[in-house]
Structure 1
Amino acid sequence: MSILETEQQRLINRFHAQKPIRSWSMIISIFGDCVAPRGGELWMGNITEIMQMIGVNSGVVRTAMSRLASDGWLERTRIGRNSFYRLTKMGCEAFDQATPRIYARGPARGDANWITAILSEGEGRSERREYLTDQGFGILAPNVLIKPDIGQQLPRSSDKIVFMQSMAPPEKAVQLARQAWNLEGLQQGYREFIETYSDLQALLECEGHAPIAPETALIIRVILIHDLRRLVLRDPELPLQALPEKWAGSVARELAAGIYNTLRDHGEIWLDSNARTTAGALPPPEPAFFERFQPL
């Protein structure tokens, strides 16, 4: 077993040490990283094979795929005895929103501007609050949430949610951030990510390392993005003045970018050679795929 394969096994063991394992979430990472930029459809046999390389058996994979289909992420097509899964409109929209955040690099884009959401009283408020936190809002009060304004279009207000733009001075931004988000928990998560992947980065930077097998590159790449995704989608992208000192988020992103850019094309070789859709071979990636983790 090569040193890189040993690193792969260490990451797989780490994934299985997390309880619960959440295999369905790993499948989401596979679709987001490998399938969405290539048309959004993949043969069930390929999904099973990739997950088996991560140590997840076919029965667990079938259960996870059924859950993702019932939750509206995927839809199934059967041709003979073969099943193919395609991202639904909901799934595509979710990836379109998440992808720029996951594969970004550089400092946070926020400044002193904020978007405030005011929730109306009544039935459904908890569901609306959960929806907003999934979109990066932090909770100041049961009916007041905030999010950094990074130049996106202000959401449309309704009788259920009113959105407003505001500005806060630096000292107020720090206070708001600490009140609305668990930044220390996120900071610790980024530090653990750096600790987990620093040795791998050093290994890949060594000129004498063994050739990178396509399947090894693919699996490490998928696990890397899976771990990063779970952090950055919780990251509100606060302005720099609102972040704790020695913020680890930027370091973690640069670390991920270096590893991903080294492994990306090797992993694509496996997909080119093995991945199938209802129309045959998996189509090539869209141009935006090659812009991932590129410098600003």
Structure 2
Amino acid sequence: MKDISPDWFETCVSQLTNTGTQRVWSVLVTIFGDLAPSGSDQVSGSLITALTSLAGIKSEATRVALHRLRKEGWIESTRVGRTSVHRLTDFGRSQSAAAAPRIYSRETEKPDIWHVLIASSSESSRKELSDLMLIGDYISVNASMAMAPGPVPDGLEDLLGIESSAISVPDWMRDLCGPEPLKDAYSQFWTTLQFVEQHLPAKGMDDLLQTAVLRVLIVHGWRRLILRHPPLPPAFLPEDWKGAECRQSVAQLLDRLPRPSLASLEAVLGD
């Protein structure tokens, strides 16, 4: 394996991991979801350690995170000779597949229909609303009201449901959907993406491990942001929201950092 860590690569990794809130198990979920999403894909322990090491993660932290993912049913591991190979479980693949459209889509979703659910003051009505919010892409308007894209769900009991294609979005709703901390996080990520784009070699990269690491860290940063809120069209967000710019930049960077095959990455380790 080539031991190449030029300053530009280390600097880009530092920029992509400078939030200080990286959870190693979550980074591993991104590695599997981006590089090994299918049922036939399996990743050796050596490759996982090589990738996380280049991302600035210690081997002990990687082992602990792998143990957690096995315990929680995300991955399964098998011994092959003197090493271990890891793959997503059915549950892990289903979770990754559910998130993939939002992560990799190049266009922001623009639902044609929205619905609003309104609860009464009764405990049963509030609980029904709370339960629905756990399984859907709902925006909490207040303690008794929520809204989400799509038609009114079937089987409502104690909730008033209203759906419409004509919705006026006031500034207070934009601020509710795009709160300041999340808006700042998007702006910071946008700045990071611009930095990485400027520092990537103009002629492309020939180091497959570095390509994979930068790609995974970009996808991970984007995934952590885009999954923190329901899919929202621009009309529901503040005017200075950087979500669309981030989406475009992520797509452009992933084009410049094409996904290496697992076979090619494993082969690098054997060189």
| TM-score, length basis structure 1 | 0.73
Deviation of 1:154 after TM superposition, in Å, equals: 6.5
Moved more, 61-70 or 168-177: 168-177
Cα-to-partner distance string for 1:213-253 (whole Å, 9 max, x where unaligned): 22221111111001010111124222332221143111111
State the match for 1:290 in structure 2: none
Change (3 A) 1:178 1:23: same
Match of 1:252 among 242, 246, 258: 246
State the match for 2:110 in structure 1: 109
Q: Distance in 2 between matches of 1:88 and 1:73?
A: 6
State the match for 1:190 in structure 2: 186
Q: Distance in 1 between matches of 2:264 and 2:248?
A: 30
State the match for 2:94 in structure 1: 93
Moved more, 34-43 or 98-107: 34-43
Root mean square deviation, CA, Å: 3.4
Q: Secondary structure at the match of 1:275?
A: helix
Q: Distance in 2 between matches of 1:60 and 1:201?
A: 29
AA partner of residue 39 (structure 1): S
Contiguous gaps of at least 5 residues in structure 2: none
State the match for 1:275 in structure 2: 266
Deviation of 1:48 after TM superposition, in Å, equals: 1.5
Change (3 A) 1:236 1:62: same
Q: Distance in 1 between matches of 2:81 and 2:39?
A: 23
Moved more, 225-234 or 13-22: 13-22
Deviation of 1:94 after TM superposition, in Å, equals: 0.8
Deviation of 1:63 after TM superposition, in Å, equals: 0.5
Change (3 A) 1:177 1:54: same
| TM-score, length basis structure 2 | 0.79
State the match for 1:11 in structure 2: 12
Change (3 A) 1:86 1:121: farther
State the match for 1:45 in structure 2: 46
Q: Secondary structure at the match of 1:171?
A: coil
Q: Secondary structure at the match of 2:37?
A: helix
Q: Distance in 2 between matches of 1:114 and 1:194?
A: 31
Q: Distance in 2 between matches of 1:118 and 1:43?
A: 50
State the match for 2:197 in structure 1: 201
State the match for 1:82 in structure 2: 83
State the match for 1:236 in structure 2: 230
AA partner of residue 171 (structure 1): S
Sequence identity percentage? 25
Deviation of 1:40 after TM superposition, in Å, equals: 4.0
State the match for 1:291 in structure 2: none
Q: Distance in 1 between matches of 2:112 and 2:182?
A: 20
Would the aligned equivalents of 2:128 and 2:159 in 1 still touch at CA under 8 Å? no
State the match for 1:214 in structure 2: 208
Moved more, 164-173 or 181-190: 164-173
Change (3 A) 1:242 1:68: same
Q: Secondary structure at the match of 1:109?
A: coil
Would the aligned equivalents of 1:112 and 1:173 in 2 still touch at CA under 8 Å? no
Would the aligned equivalents of 1:117 and 1:164 in 2 still touch at CA under 8 Å? yes
Q: How many residues align?
A: 261
State the match for 2:256 in structure 1: 262
Would the aligned equivalents of 1:105 and 1:250 in 2 still touch at CA under 8 Å? no
Cα-to-partner distance string for 1:141-181 (whole Å, 9 max, x where unaligned): 345432233xxx8756477x9694512744346554544x3
Deviation of 1:212 after TM superposition, in Å, equals: 3.6
AA partner of residue 184 (structure 1): E
Change (3 A) 1:74 1:5: same
Deviation of 1:89 after TM superposition, in Å, equals: 1.9
